[in-house]
Structure 1
Amino acid sequence: MRMKAPVNPNLAILSLAVGTFAIGSGEFAMMGLLPDVARSLGATIPQCGNIVSAYAIGVVIGAPLVSLAVTRLSRKHTLMILMTWFALTNILGTLAHSIWSLEFWRFLAGLGHGTLFGGSALVAASLAPPGKQGRAVGHVFTGLTVANVIGAPFATFAGAYVSWRLSYLIVGAIALLATLMMTLCLPSDAPRRGHSILNELDLFRRRQIWYVLGVVMLGCGGMFCVYTYVSAALLHVTHVPAWSIPLYLSLWGIGMVVGAYAGSIAIDRNPFAATVGAFIWNIVTLSVFALALPWVWPVTGAVFLLGGTIALGPAMQMRLMAVAGEAQTMAASMNHAAFNMANAIGAWVGAIFLASGFGYAWTGWGGAAIAALGLLLFLFATAAEKRDMAREQRTETV
């Protein structure tokens, strides 16, 4: 269902992008803040990796449950409520004084993430003309990518020189600003009273949905295997100065902006080729990072190239929306559940390598292996879909 056109579509899209900027800043800031959080809470960096996983698990659990809870609400009211929740949980999380309490608040903050991001993508697509939905979804992802250019690096800087708590107070304030902008700028839409929980649950009867979710978990898990520990890797292996870490995170973010933009255009032209290309990019750049890590200039280039791995996100968002039928809210939310499951998988695999003494370069090799598995699953799923379509055509002919 298309939403009624707003007075200013650009402002409506901007309000969504500010929301995804807040979400992205809150999610990705923790990777750069791990050393500061570890010092503050008296823990090791691998232990603090579980804080990243706690948020991701919150997203995975919250995506289906929250989507069911808001089934009959209007999309505008859903986004406003969940953005307020995100703001409050980030602000209250600054009161944590142990790893366990911080994990608890990060878990709560992640509960609405999937429905927030997915709902924003659906609203953006509903406002776009035919043939440009991929670019509209890409604009929503722009907030996430810009968060890696400005939000996460600034949070890392604030954490290094003031406290990680200040970083998350700022994230909460930006989320409240996004709520206000959504209230003023998004078009009103009617509650979906005729839409039932069963409509959304029907999504999980579709085999292709499970394939896509698996592809997202593996395809994006490789990126998080490196990103979770990139600050520590640059400090301890490349031996860059601490003040340069925010700059490296900004460089990664710039690569994400370029990757998301190029990927969204490619999706509108050829979704299959765009997805395969994104996977190949992931595998190659993760391997390059592993090789380049000991040297400053080569690893600097690798960090920029790694930002392009985000192109897989919009591709999978559009794929899920295409195969979801009427369960659009659930599908859009589950994409981000899978994306954050990838976050948890990547952090977990990286922690195993580090705890086993393999070294930070193995986060790159492990990430490349995970991404390669994702590509194989995507090709298998595509072949399975073609076989199913051929079988249906033969049945109709008979």
Structure 2
Amino acid sequence: MSILALDHERPYVSELSPSRRRLALLSLALGGFGIGATEFVAMGLLPNLAAELLPGLYTASPEEGIAQAGWLISAYALGVVVGAPTIAAATTHLPRKRLLLWLLAAFTVGTIASALLPSFGLVLVARFVAALPHGAYFGIASIVAADIMGPGNRGKGVALVLSGLTIANVVGVPSITWLGQVAGWRAAYVVVALIFAATFAAVAATVPLQPGDHTGSFRRELTAFRRPQLWLTIALAAIGFGGFFAVYSYIAPAVTHVAGLGEGVVPWVLAGIGIGMTIGNLLGGWLTDVDVRLTLYSGFAVLILSLLGFALTAHTVVGLVLFSALVGLSSSAISPTVQSRLMDIAGEAKSLAAALNHSALNIGNSLGAFIGGATIAAGFGYLSPAWAGLLLAIVGLAIATVSFGLQRRSIRS
């Protein structure tokens, strides 16, 4: 049966029963779970990836091998940055359910390729390709979820879809990381591909029909880029979230080399970060519907303090676990706030704005992974990414302050 045919078999939002609404929302969140797994599982498997794909370099210098394996994280992030705005802008006129199914099919194929290709260069390309649907999926799924939940619940709808990603960091990423350590990193990506295949079936069965924006066009969506506030919001998210990813990308060597713990502890630390991310996402979604500015300022303040605490105390078990979880909590509280702000200032380009949040986050992913890897390769140690991340978060807060200041000035004038 074709994806096109599936568009004609399900009811519209207004025709859904309460139970069908819940199932549809869970299906959308399951996609977020798969995305969280495919994006973050590499963080805990960098030593394994380096050992198999870069054996000569890893044997000669584990630090340089792990730093180069971090390019896989940056390649995925770059794919999100490229794919999110282009796919969202070019497909705004398509029925949303059909578009979600195409995106999930692309996720499945790209992740299988990541698991099967033999060399570092080919896997690098596969990670880039697998990331292209990422931002568009979250953007479209967030719009669909908000419509299903009803008026006044946009922040909660965004948070619900993102909850799949954060829950993945509690359950999926630690368990798949453990599987990758035991059975090989390729087995980990096979499991992720199966999650995407299951999501495809769930979305096809439960998500209601939603027409695309028939008045939308690629050109109209791109007009949002004329707004300075859009660029400032992208910048504060990209640079600010670099602080989180600088730490998260290299959490495995922080556990084993800084705290002196065994490799088997890595999944448990990842689970702690995931719990923090889940709490932060739900809290941020609720607070965003109350006060966007206060939520953004508070999230950045806690992120800065958490990164400082991590840099100073990660050599202890308590400091490592506590502050890594707080880094996850604070960064995830910011995410639904940024997405809601982008949708507020983008005018009619809602699809593009919803996707741009994930472009911004993954610029931060790429930036944090690159800077963190560079500081490690330069010999500054496995805690140096946390200090670099602290500086990035401070810059993000400064940009947020400028953005809201300019907004207040324009309102007064």
* Interval containing the TM-score (normalised by the shorter chain): over 0.9
Which residue is equivalent to 1:367? 389
Which residue is equivalent to 2:77? 56
Distance in 2 between residues matched to 1:110 and 1:333, nearest whole Å: 13
Code of the aligned partner of 1:279: F
Instruction: Give matches, 1:179-198, under 5 Å.
Output: 179-198=200-219
- Alignment of 1:82 with 2:103, yes or no, is yes
Instruction: Give matches, 1:194-233, under 5 Å.
Output: 194-233=215-254
Distance in 2 between residues matched to 1:319 and 1:3, nearest whole Å: 25
How far 1:28 sits from its partner (Å)? Answer: 0.4
Provide, for residues 3-54 of structure 1, a one-character-per-residue CA deviation record: whole Å limited to 9, x for no partner.
5453321111101100000001000001111111111112410000101000
State which of 26, 48, 57 in structure 2 corresponds to 1:14: 26
Code of the aligned partner of 2:180: G
Distance in 2 between residues matched to 1:27 and 1:364, nearest whole Å: 20
Q: Classify the secondary structure of the residue corresponding to 2:70.
A: helix
Code of the aligned partner of 2:392: I
**Structure 1 pair 5–164 and aligned structure 2 pair: CA distance change class (3 A):** farther
Distance in 2 between residues matched to 1:38 and 1:234, nearest whole Å: 17
Q: Classify the secondary structure of the residue corresponding to 1:194.
A: coil
Distance in 2 between residues matched to 1:234 and 1:191, nearest whole Å: 46
Distance in 2 between residues matched to 1:132 and 1:196, nearest whole Å: 26
How far 1:194 sits from its partner (Å)? Answer: 2.5
State which of 335, 341, 345 in structure 2 corresponds to 1:313: 335
Distance in 1 between residues matched to 2:342 and 2:397, nearest whole Å: 16
- Alignment of 1:33 with 2:31, yes or no, is no
How far 1:354 sits from its partner (Å)? Answer: 0.4
Say whether the 8 Å CA contact 2:234–2:356 is kept in structure 1. yes
How far 1:296 sits from its partner (Å)? Answer: 1.4
- Alignment of 1:246 with 2:246, yes or no, is no
Which residue is equivalent to 1:384? 406
- Alignment of 1:108 with 2:132, yes or no, is no
Which residue is equivalent to 1:262? 283
Say whether the 8 Å CA contact 2:167–2:274 is kept in structure 1. yes
Q: CA RMSD in A?
A: 1.3
| TM-score, structure 1 as length reference | 0.95
Distance in 2 between residues matched to 1:181 and 1:172, nearest whole Å: 14
How far 1:306 sits from its partner (Å)? Answer: 1.8
How far 1:128 sits from its partner (Å)? Answer: 2.2
Say whether the 8 Å CA contact 2:144–2:210 is kept in structure 1. no
Say whether the 8 Å CA contact 1:4–1:189 is kept in structure 2. no
Please list every run of 5 or more consecutive structure 2 residues that lacks an aligned counterpart in the other structure.
Answer: 1-11, 59-64
Distance in 2 between residues matched to 1:97 and 1:90, nearest whole Å: 14
Which residue is equivalent to 1:326? 348
How far 1:316 sits from its partner (Å)? Answer: 0.3
| TM-score, structure 2 as length reference | 0.92
Which residue is equivalent to 1:151? 172
Question: How many aligned positions are there?
Answer: 390
Please list every run of 5 or more consecutive structure 1 residues that lacks an aligned counterpart in the other structure.
Answer: 392-398
Say whether the 8 Å CA contact 1:33–1:155 is kept in structure 2. no
Q: Classify the secondary structure of the residue corresponding to 1:93.
A: helix
Q: Classify the secondary structure of the residue corresponding to 1:269.
A: coil
Say whether the 8 Å CA contact 1:4–1:188 is kept in structure 2. no
- Alignment of 1:177 with 2:198, yes or no, is yes
Structure 1 segments (4+ residues) deviating >6 Å: none
Which residue is equivalent to 1:341? 363
Distance in 2 between residues matched to 1:312 and 1:282, nearest whole Å: 9
How far 1:367 sits from its partner (Å)? Answer: 0.7
Provide, for residues 178-223 of structure 1, a one-character-per-residue CA deviation record: whole Å limited to 9, x for no partner.
1111111111022433322222111111111111100110111100
- Alignment of 1:236 with 2:257, yes or no, is yes
Distance in 1 between residues matched to 2:170 and 2:163, nearest whole Å: 10
Higher alpha-carbon deviation: 46-55 or 264-273: 264-273
Say whether the 8 Å CA contact 1:159–1:166 is kept in structure 2. yes
